[in-house]
Amino acid sequence: MDSDIHHTDVAIIGAGPVGLFAVFELGMLGIDCHVVDALDAPGGQCTALYPEKPIYDIPGYPEIMAHDLVGKLLEQIKPFAPVYHLGQQVTGLETVDGGDWLLTTSMGTRIEARAVILAAGVGAFGPNRPPLDGIDAFERQPPGTGVHYFVTRREDFRDRRVVIAGGGDSAVDWALALAETAASVAVVHRRDRFRAAPESVRRLRELADSGRIEMVVPFQLHSLEGEGGRLDGVIVSDLDGNQRRLAADALLPFFGLHQDLGPIADWGLNLHRHHIVVEPSTCAAGLSGIFAIGDVAEYPGKLKLILTGFSEAAMAAHAIFTLVRPGEALHFEYSTTKGVPGGVLGGAKTPTAT
């Protein structure tokens, strides 16, 4: 029955930082929205994977923790009272009379919207696990011990012997962060070149020279040692098969994430290598009323940065205005002159969730 359907102007799929900022940009144009996310809390990867990881490229913040950024975004969009549908995945998308879109979620929630914004990041994500015999037994241990693919609290690793495997940004960033907390940090990589930000690599080598981090290169993971699921050593080997043992309470393998767009891949959008190709000036995704922003969106020259996603959210919101407010003229105004409805906090509507 129609009474069982939520009606709104825009449905946003994805409650990461970019999806949350889209709520703000839409709200400033007087456009209501509902937000759907498979996770149980807003924030996307910033909440689920690295809440205590510092971010350095947010304008106005020389450094801000990921969970603090999410908190600021939630505070910023509070006046617009978005409706959250958390802990559920969008499983169906179909057109209805009048050109609207009807979304169905894994929990049976139905949302009818004039436009849809896909801010799904990399889609459903999971770690690339190293092919080590018996690794499963070490994965089900408390934080700070055993094998973990994400770090949510640095304090969990205080005074622990930590081995980090990988050569990308995550491996280097967490080596730098845990060097201040862990009893020891060893970084295992198959070559002495890292795919991380140059400044981070410089700091890594500086800490290695001072003895605060041990560089184990060129080596790769070979096996794990321990009993009853309790890790006490990591065996690594070089290219010639020579092995050495690293004492360890915890192993953090950072070999990237595998991504899966899930049902989104079957919606007839312009896909290219798990990304959605969009028109750069509007972020239109090829179907009328469907837009994609953030890491899931692709176009020539795209930079995968949070601030790029913020810009895309603004462009998509302005493109959507003509769809949800046909016949109305959009008069561009700066926020300094327009202000925020109800003030930043006072008089704001209360967000709701289902």
Looking up tokens 């994965």 gives: 139
Same domain, 203 and 241: yes
Element holding 21 (H helix, E strand): helix 17-28
Q: Is 132 exposed, middle or buried (0-12, 13-18, 19+ CB in 10 A)?
A: middle
- Per the structure, the count of domains in the chain is 2
Q: Mean pLDDT across the chain, nearest whole number?
A: 89
Judge whether 264 and 245 are in contact, CB under 8 Å: no
275 and 214 in a common domain: no
Q: Is the pLDDT of residue 265 over 70?
A: yes
Higher pLDDT, 205 or 258: 205
- Domain end position, chosen among 209, 237, 255: 255
10 Å Cβ neighbour count for 135?
18
Residues 6+ apart with CB under 8 A from 232: 225, 226, 247, 248, 249
Examine the domain organization and report whether 53 and 144 are in the same domain. Answer: no
318 and 217 belong to one structural domain: no
The pLDDT confidence band at residue 262, using thresholds 50, 70 and 90, is confident
pLDDT score at 319: 96
d(CA 46, CA 65): 9
Tell me the pLDDT tens digit for each residue of 188-245: 999 999 998 899 999 999 999 999 999 999 999 999 999 999 999 999 999 899 999 9
Q: Which residues span the domain enclosing 317?
A: 2-124+258-353
Contacts of 177 (CB under 8 A, 6+ apart): 52, 53, 54, 151, 154
Could you tell me if 92 and 148 lie in one domain? no
Quickly list H helices, the chain: 17-28, 45-48, 66-77, 135-139, 169-178, 198-209, 306-324, 335-338
Q: For residues 29 and 86, state if they share a domain.
A: yes
Q: What is the pLDDT of residue 349?
A: 54
**Res. 78 pLDDT band, cuts 50 70 90:** very high
323 and 180 in one domain? no
Q: How far apart are CA 122 and CA 307, in angstroms?
A: 16
Domain end call among 238, 255, 272: 255
| 280 and 324 co-located in one domain | yes
Same structural domain, 250 and 328? no
Which of 200, 225, 255 is at the close of a domain?
A: 255
Beta bridge partners of 54: 65
Dihedral angle of Cα 220, 224, 229, 233, to the nearest 10 degrees: -100
102 and 135 share one domain: no
- Please give the Cα distance from 310 to 297 (Å, whole number): 12
Per-residue pLDDT band for 347 (boundaries 50, 70, 90) equals very low
CB-CB contact of 160 with 244 (8 Å): no
Q: Say whether both 67 and 85 belong to one domain.
A: yes
Cβ contacts of 343 within 8 Å, gap of 6 or more: 79
> What is the model's pLDDT at position 19?
97
Dump pLDDT digits (tens) for 128-155: 899 999 999 999 888 899 999 888 788 9
Question: What does the pLDDT average to over 101-107?
Answer: 94
CATH of the domain at 138: 3.50.50.60
Residue 346 confidence (pLDDT) above 70: no
Q: What is the mean pLDDT of residues 83-103?
A: 91
* Cα-trace Rg, the chain: 23
| Mean predicted confidence (pLDDT) in 272-298 | 92
Same domain, 229 and 282: no
